A and B are shown apart, each in its own frame.
Chain A
Amino acid sequence: MPATDLLSSQGLRLDGRRPNELRRIRCRLGVFTQPDGSAYLEQGNTKVLAAVYGPHQASKSKLSTEGVVVNCQYSMATFSTGERKNRPRGDRKSQEMSMHLRQALTAAIKTELYPRSQIDIYVEVLQADGGAYCACVNAATLALTEAGVPLRAYVCASSASMAAAGAGSAGPEPLLDVGHVEEAAGGVVLTVAALPTTGHIALLEMSHRLHMDYFDIVLSRAMQGCRDIEVILDRAVRDHLAEGWTKQDVMTI
């Protein structure tokens, strides 16, 4: 159900963005030395760290001969939200988030290449300001790329919402990249994790109810967000590569 007061009469959102604008994304690859790959990503005020270990020998209980076992752990820092709260790792919410992360990332990783191995992905939310899942997927993609794990394509996640026709605005308008204020104001949040280069959707999740007529436009806006994020991530990866390669003798055989 579209919420009413998400768009001002000038067509601006609560935080001053236009409906089709993302929050500012800043990211960095290779923030840690110990893991195989790591990344830090800021999406507006949502800040996330991701670390990837592997592929390494899978533990005996998890070992699979078909492909690599992807193991995700999502956790939130005690200081990540307005209310300081000790968050145990295994609680229901983070377990669900870990499962969803795993689903999105397994769709991108070429799992069949490394039988009997395991990849561990740890994401930590340092500051949660809405769209934590999306930021986690994007950060994990960067960390996987840095670790040199073979991916089909980047997997990017974005969320979208729906604003009802307010006073003065043209009509109902889908909103891209939902922040905490908009999440709290009510209204639907559609989260999409997709491989934008191929157009595959890895995960689709929606909170609240949305009229069927609106679904397509909200989904297409979220997909547009994924494509925009991919461009940003790709640029970050290329910058990181350029920084690393200048010092290496590139072996051309």
Chain B
Amino acid sequence: MTGHVSIRLASERVNHCVATMNEPPRFYTPGEVITGMQDFMRGHGTYTEDDCLKASVAGVMEKVNKLICIRPLKSRYVGEIGDVVVGRVLEVQQRRWKVETNSRLDSVLQLSSVNLPGGELRRRSAEDEQMMRKHLQEGDLISAEVQSVFSDGSLSLHTRSLKYGKLTQGTLVKVYPSLIKRRKNHFHNLPCGVAIIIGNNGYIWISPQNHEGVMEEQKDDDTVDQQSVSRSDRETMARVKNCIAALVASKMMLDDTSIMFAYEESLKYDSVKDLLDPETMLDISFLTQHRINNIMEE
């Protein structure tokens, strides 16, 4: 391995700030009194003490009528019904899988909420329970949707659609959940020939686009999607991954538009690994921010 390592002094580090016009909002920090009045409702990130409403996390206030919430800059994923998530199977249990989704508690995927090969109306038998590990194994990555949220905050997932299920070939990028923009659609086929799943839980799955358009359900053998991915596809995936890393370093919101803009801006750098250079990352996110601002103005 050739040594291409750059170690910098702390004083030479790049500040990833991308300046925007809007001035920072009012911040609240733990223990700070938000209001002394009684006629407000206590939301997330707040608590009442001595007849005062106080903040318990550091962040900005969100107010809906009388409900006051404080939203922190960064926290674990808080699930909502209908969210698209990407997760990793941790455990195979009796009639369910435990899935890690960057949430406070492990999520559950019931055997009854997956599509088993053989159509919707099939009866689930004892064999299915024994075959669970063949369907999803420990360490497998899946995409799923949040079906319901239990009272303790843990999530119940389902994969009852052809777009959800096991993820086979691709790259996983972990970012923090507050950077993901909530959109109608979280599955995107980017024009550059890469498919991405932007999970609401901050896990982003980058995979080569499946050209033939066949779903894997027809072929339930172990050779599913084991064909090799071409070098150019892998390079594009790596480029998308590095673009996401650049946007995250500048703490910009992620959705298909911003990722696509960043990808287009990155094309002026030939080598993919150059994108990991802090100056380049800043350049890409700066140009992306500029383009997003242009769109907003129009």
Tell me whether B45 is interfacial, beta carbon within 8 Å: yes
Closest chain A residue, CB of each to CB of B27: A241
**In contact, A247 and B251 (Cβ under 8 angstroms):** yes
Partner-contacting stretch, out of A13-21, A111-119, A208-216: A111-119
**In contact, B25 and A114 (Cβ under 8 angstroms):** no
**In contact, A253 and B64 (Cβ under 8 angstroms):** yes
**In contact, B104 and A154 (Cβ under 8 angstroms):** no
Tell me whether A56 is interfacial, beta carbon within 8 Å: yes
- Give the Cβ gap from A43 to chain B, nearest Cβ, in Å: 18
Q: Out of A108, A110, A149, A247, which one reaches B20, CB within 8 Å?
A: A247
- Residues from chain B with Cβ under 8 Å of A234 in the complex: 29
Tell me whether A61 is interfacial, beta carbon within 8 Å: no
**In contact, B47 and A251 (Cβ under 8 angstroms):** no
**In contact, B30 and A153 (Cβ under 8 angstroms):** yes
**In contact, B104 and A56 (Cβ under 8 angstroms):** yes
Tell me whether B207 is interfacial, beta carbon within 8 Å: no
Partner-contacting stretch, out of B72-80, B211-219, B222-230, B271-279: B72-80
- Give the Cβ gap from A52 to chain B, nearest Cβ, in Å: 11
Tell me whether A150 is interfacial, beta carbon within 8 Å: yes
Closest chain A residue, CB of each to CB of B105: A57
- Give the Cβ gap from A72 to chain B, nearest Cβ, in Å: 19
**In contact, A36 and B57 (Cβ under 8 angstroms):** no
13 A-B residue contacts at CB 8 Å?
A: A54-B76, A57-B105, A57-B106, A117-B105, A145-B29, A145-B58, A150-B30, A151-B57, A152-B49, A153-B30, A238-B58, A245-B73, A246-B22
List residues of A whose CB falls within 8 A of some B CB. 36-37, 54-57, 108, 110, 114-117, 145-154, 195, 197-198, 234, 237-238, 240-253
- Give the Cβ gap from B47 to chain A, nearest Cβ, in Å: 7
**In contact, A195 and B75 (Cβ under 8 angstroms):** no
**In contact, A250 and B64 (Cβ under 8 angstroms):** no
- Residues from chain A with Cβ under 8 Å of B75 in the complex: 36, 147-149
**In contact, A148 and B72 (Cβ under 8 angstroms):** yes
**In contact, B18 and A242 (Cβ under 8 angstroms):** no
Q: Out of B57, B60, B152, which one reaches A150, CB within 8 Å?
A: B57
**In contact, B27 and A242 (Cβ under 8 angstroms):** yes
- Residues from chain B with Cβ under 8 Å of A152 in the complex: 30-31, 47, 49, 56
C-alpha gap A36/B175 in the complex (Å)? 11
Tell me whether B193 is interfacial, beta carbon within 8 Å: no
- Residues from chain B with Cβ under 8 Å of A147 in the complex: 74-75
**In contact, A242 and B24 (Cβ under 8 angstroms):** yes
**In contact, B250 and A247 (Cβ under 8 angstroms):** yes
Most chain B CB within 10 A, of A114, A116, A245, is at: A245
C-alpha gap A248/B153 in the complex (Å)? 26
Closest chain B residue, CB of each to CB of A243: B17
- Give the Cβ gap from A117 to chain B, nearest Cβ, in Å: 5
| A150 touching B24 in the complex, CB below 8 Å, given contacts A195-B31, A241-B73, A248-B251 | no
C-alpha gap A127/B31 in the complex (Å)? 30
**In contact, A197 and B31 (Cβ under 8 angstroms):** yes
C-alpha gap A160/B63 in the complex (Å)? 43
